[in-house]
Chains A and B, each alone.
Chain A
Amino acid sequence: MYAALWRFLPGGRFLKIAQFILIAAIVVGVLFEWVFPWIAQTFLAEQSTVE
């Protein structure tokens, strides 16, 4: 999986590492901004009200 991605990415070793970091940063950004809030909202609706 990651080996295939490594082979697919162009450039030398350092360029590949840089691209890996960039991809990881994008993935984390998307998760933090959209995916995780949705999961928490949908499955972990914590109550703090009295009702």
Chain B
Amino acid sequence: MDTSSRKTFRKRGKLLKLTGIAGEALLSAGALMGLFLSWHLVFNDSIQGDRQNQSAMSLAKEWSANSSIEPIIEPENSISSHSDDEPPITASPPEGQAFALLYVPRFGDDYVRSIAEGVDIETVLNSRTLGIGRYLESNQLGEMGNFAIAAHRTTWGAAFGDIAELRIGDRIYVEVLEGWHVYQFRNLEYVWETEVDVLNAFPRMNLDQTDAKVITLTSCHPRFSEAERIIAYGVYEGWYPRKGGSPAEITELVKGSS
């Protein structure tokens, strides 16, 4: 081999090495993107959903431990019907703080999530511990009117991932320190994001006052998109004070967390 061809060979070797590194870098970048998508669309929902569930469980535990009233743990005592007492009006905490827990048996046997004040994306809806937020302009628990909350349908724990699976009559339980507010799911509605009248004291109606109590859940529609919003309405069924025991349907879950 003469000198010139040896030079070309060395040059080729260098080029080969460079393209090799570039190829590896490109393959790695592709793998990274695939990994990100699988995290964003699949893994993070279970990872973060579990964390949100855990944190809600620990809040439930704290409440049952701190309440001076003995929580009823025996399932046979818990087939209590709702009370005629007026439920207490929940005082709004600072924004971003959890003040209630949501139980929806239709969303799974072990489903419990915290409801925080406000619907800020970063601090509430995407939060590792929260996930559900109350619209500040809506009514509080115990008040007449509309208790409106929002959560993700997909990604970030997907607290309302199964919102479209709700069937008429499904119970929606909202736990506060003093007991449980119970709602019955009524219907779904699909709206544009600008249709804020779903948050009115009586959804879709411009009334000065209402003597109805409703719950409104808002989330994304279709799944993995934000083109529209899916709205779930529930009507108030009753109030279960803590001293009377938890509603039968969620007793196992409440018991498990206490």
Contact = CB atoms under 8 A, between A and B. Distances in A.
Given A1-B21, A31-B35, A50 B196 contact: yes
Nearest to B229: A50
Contacts of A48: 125, 150-153, 160, 218-220, 226, 229
Contacts of B151: 48
Interface string A27-48: 0100110001101110011111
Interface residues of A, number: 18
Interface string B29-66: 00010011001100110010000000000000000000
B36 A39 contact: yes
Contact of A49 (B44, B47, B135): B135
How many interface residues does chain B have, given as a range?
Answer: 35 or more
Nearest to B151: A48
Nearest to A44: B40
Interface in B184-243: 191, 193-196, 198-199, 218-220, 226, 229, 231
B66 to A, nearest CB: 32
Given A48-B226, A50-B218, A40 B155 contact: yes
A38 to B, nearest CB: 11
B119 interface: yes
B15 interface: no
A2 interface: yes
